[in-house]
């Protein structure tokens, strides 16, 4: 039954059936991509790959930018109908990001969904950007962190019930993209840098 439901969902994505999260993510990523490298990480990777669970936010990591470059990105997001929940000031938002605090953007006329963005903070985030992938199965033309990265984070760092179920889902949907030696290496990096 699971396989049937997954096939149905993926066939709907293939013929262009998208939901609010998909459209929000596509719109946001299309602006960000003009200004910097990015990846979508965590729960939305599993959700866009057919896992049925709720979320109101999408997590994104972007490369570190200068204030000038970030201001251009922020202005472009505003021009495309997005607003930052923390501030209207690009300088203030930049200071949060520089201090390793995430910020959230929504559409100006809708409080949900939200895009939570943060700057790359260490070599693990750099590695995620370098190994980013597009996942045709999702039907979305956006950059994701790799399946191995997502599985490693969910199994080694996050470990909540939903995260462990996300990891199981990703392993079952993308068996050809799972590399156990890579996951082991990533878990070692997570222990060294995050735990």
Query: Is the pLDDT reported for residue 101 higher than 60?
Result: yes
Per cent of the chain over pLDDT 90 is 86
Q: Which domains does the chain have, with CATH numbers?
A: 2-194 (3.30.460.40)
Using CA atoms, how far apart are residues 46 and 31, in angstroms rounded to an integer?
23
Q: How far apart, in Å, are the Cα atoms of 121 and each of 125, 140, 150?
A: 6, 26, 17
Query: Is the pLDDT reported for residue 5 higher than 70?
Result: no
Q: Judging by DSSP bridges, how do beta strands 103-107 and 110-119 pair with one another?
A: antiparallel
List residues bridging with 83 in a β-sheet.
106
For residues 163-192, average pLDDT = 98
Q: Is the peptide bond before 194 cis (omega within 30 degrees of 0)?
A: no
For residues 85-94, average pLDDT = 98
Radius of gyration of the chain (CA): 17
The mean predicted confidence, pLDDT, of the chain is 92
Instruction: Count CA within 13 A, CB hemisphere, residue 171.
Output: 13
Predicted local confidence at residue 74, as pLDDT: 98
Q: Name the band, by pLDDT with cuts 50, 70 and 90, for residue 193.
A: very high
Pinpoint the alpha helices (H) of 35-113: 43-48, 67-79, 90-98
Predicted local confidence at residue 92, as pLDDT: 98
Residues whose CB is less than 8 angstroms from the CB of residue 36 and which lie 6 or more positions away in sequence, other chains included: 62, 63, 65, 69, 73
Report whether 61 contacts 38 (CB < 8 A). Answer: yes
Query: Is the pLDDT reported for residue 7 higher than 60?
Result: no
How buried is 60 (Cβ within 10 angstroms: 0-12 exposed, 13-18 middle, 19+ buried)? buried
């Amino acid at each position: 039954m699971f396989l049937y439901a997954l096939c149905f969902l993926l066939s709907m994505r293939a013929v262009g059936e998208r939901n609010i999260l998909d459209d929000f993510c596509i719109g946001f990523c299309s602006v960000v991509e003009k200004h910097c490298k990015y990846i979508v990480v965590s729960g939305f990777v599993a959700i866009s790959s057919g896992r049925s669970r709720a979320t109101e936010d999408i997590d994104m990591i972007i490369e570190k930018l200068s204030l000038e470059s970030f201001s251009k990105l922020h202005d472009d997001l505003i021009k495309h109908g997005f607003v930052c929940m923390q501030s209207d000031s690009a300088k203030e938002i930049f200071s949060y990001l520089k201090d390793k605090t995430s910020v959230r953007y929504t559409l100006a006329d809708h409080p949900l969904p939200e895009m939570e963005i943060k700057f790359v903070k260490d070599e693990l985030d750099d590695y995620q950007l370098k190994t980013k992938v597009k996942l045709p199965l999702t039907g979305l033309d956006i950059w994701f962190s790799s399946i191995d990265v997502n599985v490693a984070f969910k199994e080694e760092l996050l470990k909540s019930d939903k995260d462990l179920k996300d990891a199981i889902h990703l392993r079952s949907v993308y068996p050809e993209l799972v590399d156990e030696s890579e996951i082991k290496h990533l878990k070692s990096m997570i222990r060294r840098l995050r735990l």
